[in-house]
């Protein structure tokens, strides 16, 4: 149990920079939540500063946001050098998983009409982010970071690890997912329009 409050139920996914777990928040009516952890091993070596900066950026980007399509931050803490951020749990399938299952069952891509409606929802979420003060650029819009909430059908936007405010987007940093990010973003010059390009690329990928 973490912080004498969060009981980990299962590992949702793991990667080189950390893991995401499903947990139960015993101080908040035993409700489900998601805990994102940066592994100690990921903080060793020359990439440590980038990993920590990425994690801190996600925490700061999410903490001030209030939108039904963005998971709410519940808590943030550190234990023995490991960083944790606690979010509302999004229960459902990412659109890349949904696409893979659809292809397996039908050998066809997603229905363009369904995909278009989903992307309109994503654009509404981006409108909120881009109208923040200062505006926030997600920089990693793709099917893997869009989850269809199984209870509401809403498309939830996750993984703000490389999100930046326009104000702090000074240094040229080449980040993003090839195939989904705009040419200027690949050159380290992401802007608001770069997120819109990624929505288009995601729609193309799904269809």
pTM for this entry: 0.84
Q: Single out the residue of 15, 10, 122, 16 nearest to residue 70, CA to CA.
A: 122
d(CA 180, CA 195): 9
Please tell me whether the peptide bond between 206 and the residue prior to it is cis, using omega within 30 degrees of 0: no
Contact 71, 158 (CB under 8 A): yes
For the chain, give the number of residues.
207
| pLDDT tens, position by position, 125-181 | 999 999 998 899 999 999 999 999 999 999 999 987 777 777 555 555 667 889 999
Q: Supply the residues annotated as catalytic.
A: 140
Q: What percent of the chain shows pLDDT beyond 70?
A: 86
Token duo for residue 183: 């040419």
């Amino acid at each position: 149990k973490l912080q004498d409050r969060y009981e980990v139920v299962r590992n949702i996914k793991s990667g080189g920079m950390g893991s995401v777990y499903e947990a139960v928040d015993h101080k908040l009516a035993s409700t489900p939540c998601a805990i994102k952890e940066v592994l100690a091993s990921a903080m060793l070596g020359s990439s440590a500063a980038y990993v920590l900066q990425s994690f801190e950026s996600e925490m700061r980007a999410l903490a001030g946001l209030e939108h039904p399509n963005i998971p709410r931050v519940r808590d943030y803490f550190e234990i023995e050098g490991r960083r944790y951020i606690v979010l509302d749990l999004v229960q459902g399938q990412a659109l890349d998983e949904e696409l893979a299952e659809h292809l397996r069952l039908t050998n066809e891509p997603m229905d363009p009409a369904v995909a278009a409606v989903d992307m309109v929802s994503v654009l509404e979420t981006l409108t909120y982010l881009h109208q923040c003060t200062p505006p926030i650029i997600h920089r990693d819009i793709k099917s893997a970071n869009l989850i269809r909430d199984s209870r509401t059908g809403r498309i939830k936007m996750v993984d703000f690890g490389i999100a930046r405010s326009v104000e702090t987007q000074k240094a040229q940093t080449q980040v993003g997912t090839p195939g989904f990010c705009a040419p200027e973003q690949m050159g380290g010059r992401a802007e608001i329009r770069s997120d819109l390009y990624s929505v288009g690329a995601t729609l193309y990928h799904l269809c």
